[in-house]
Structure 1
Amino acid sequence: MTARSPRNPAPAPAPASSSRRRGRPPRGESADTRDRILAAAREEFSERGYDKTSVRGIAKTAGVDSALVHHYFGTKEQVFAAAVEVAFGPALNAPEAVAEGPLDGVGERLARFVLGVWENPVTRAPLLAILRSAVNNETAAGVFRRLVASQLLRRVAEQLDAPDRELRVELAAAQLVGCAMMRYVIKLEPLASADLEQIVARVAPVVQGHLTGP
């Protein structure tokens, strides 16, 4: 008599390599992996610039598969945007610095806050990395502009009551960014070695004039 096969035979086990989709992180590692990728992206953009940085290179520095970079962020431009947002994060509190007191002191508060972010080595390093890429590549500059405009300048402008408030805030930002570039990037003396309080005292009235002057 021929032996019958079981009615419900057990399915064959799936290969270990197919237990999770390629490019997906193991459970519990998502936050750590994402942070590692962002740190690697800032390092790559800083050392190589936007043009010479690749998703593959970011993945190699982070110690992950390039598919994982795409899984979290998408394209290189999107990775750059995420890296900019993280690096620029401390500066995004500037609107609160503007709003925490009377408008007649807003120039000093904003100058002290923004230059303080640059003065801190921890927050300065990632800003320098991203800024160098933005200066040398139009795509990177576009990403940087969109973030700064939507997340920082527009929020600061909302604190002002003037018909040309967007222009006022951009002029104030140009003053502070230019000062930061000369002091921390180009390192032009004697500005690079000047006391921070002296710089704030000189720059604050100009920023105040842009924001609230006639």
Structure 2
Amino acid sequence: MARTKRAGRRSGNPDTRAEILAAARRLFAEEGIESVSMRRIAAEAGVDPSLIHHYFGSKDDLFLAAIELPMDPAPEVAAVLAGGEVEGAGGRLMHAFVAIWDGPHQDKLLAVVRSSLSKPAMAFVLRQLFERRILKSIEETLGDRVDHIPTRAGFVASQVFGLVVARYILKLEPLASLGAADLAETIGPNIDRYLTMPIEHLVDGR
């Protein structure tokens, strides 16, 4: 006698992980990571919520997997900013920047950035990554030493993301050829300024 397939949520199978990722990508791109619950993603994928925890752990881990980011930048940022005074943090960030972007994950990282430049939904997802992982890391590390961190972090992001495009996508010289020490000396002071300059007039809108 043929067995009748039961309707309802699926248990784990070789396609389950891919289906969860596809559902997460759609919902993160449409509504944002903060607005979407793990249960909602499970319902979209037609799986039990426990399978998301089984395959991915936390929602942050699922988010990183969904956008195919090969590494989490938050621990690197926290380690660099916690490793000394605020003054000089820019140089430390540049050294870490080169270590990450010139490392084995460069192709995958560039794929994420290129997608964000051509696809509005992906740009929204990348912004969520910055706000949820990097900005949160900066706040937790420098929150007791630096004011108006969200505003300052936005300026830092403009420097770093602009550098990614100029150095790795457009390959503009001399940026494309500079080593970590030269980048730290040249661009580090700009980041230090963003972290320390008075910005009350910007925050207050005056």
TM-score, with structure 1 as normaliser: 0.63
Structure 2 gaps of 5+ residues are 30-62, 199-206
Question: Contact 2:90 / 2:184 at 8 angstroms: preserved in 1?
Answer: no
Using the TM superposition, give the Cα deviation of residue 79 of structure 1 relative to its aligned residue in structure 2, in angstroms. Answer: 8.1
Task: Report runs of 4+ in structure 1 exceeding 6 Å deviation.
Answer: 19-23
Matching residue's letter, 1:186: L
Which deviates further from its counterpart, 181-190 or 76-85?
Answer: 76-85
CA RMSD of aligned residues (A): 3.0
Q: Does 1:115 align with 2:104?
A: no
CA 1:84–1:117 in structure 2 vs 1: closer, same or farther (change >3 Å)? farther
Matched ranges for 1:131-146 at <5 A = 131-146=113-128
Cα distance, 1:147 vs structure 2: 1.5
1:199 aligns to 2:183 (yes or no)? yes
1:104 aligns with 2:87: yes
Specify whether residues 164 and 208 from structure 1 end up closer, same or farther in structure 2 by C-alpha distance, changes over 3 A only: same
- Higher helix proportion: 1
In structure 2, relative to structure 1, the CA distance for the partners of 1:209 and 1:71 (3 Å cut) is closer
Q: CA deviation at 1:132?
A: 0.9
**Per-residue deviation, 1:88:** 5.9
Matched, 1:74 2:20: no
Q: What SS does structure 1 have at the residue aligned with 2:133? A: helix
- 1:177 lines up with 2:161 in the alignment: yes
Residues 75 and 205 (structure 1 numbering): CA distance in 2 closer, same or farther, change over 3 Å? Answer: closer
Bigger-Rg structure (1/2): 1
1:16-74, Cα deviation, whole Å (9 max, x unpaired)? xx599897544xxxxxx6xxxxxxxxxxxxxxxxxxxxxxxxxxxxxx5xx76224541
Unaligned runs of 5+ in 1: 1-11, 27-32, 34-63
1:127 paired residue number = 109
- What do the CA deviations read for 1:107-147 (whole angstroms, capped 9, x no partner)? 11122112321121x12111111111111111111111012
TM-score of the aligned structures, taking structure 2 as reference length: 0.65
Answer yes or no: is the 8 Å Cα contact 1:85–1:147 preserved in 2. Answer: no
Amino acid at match of 2:85: P
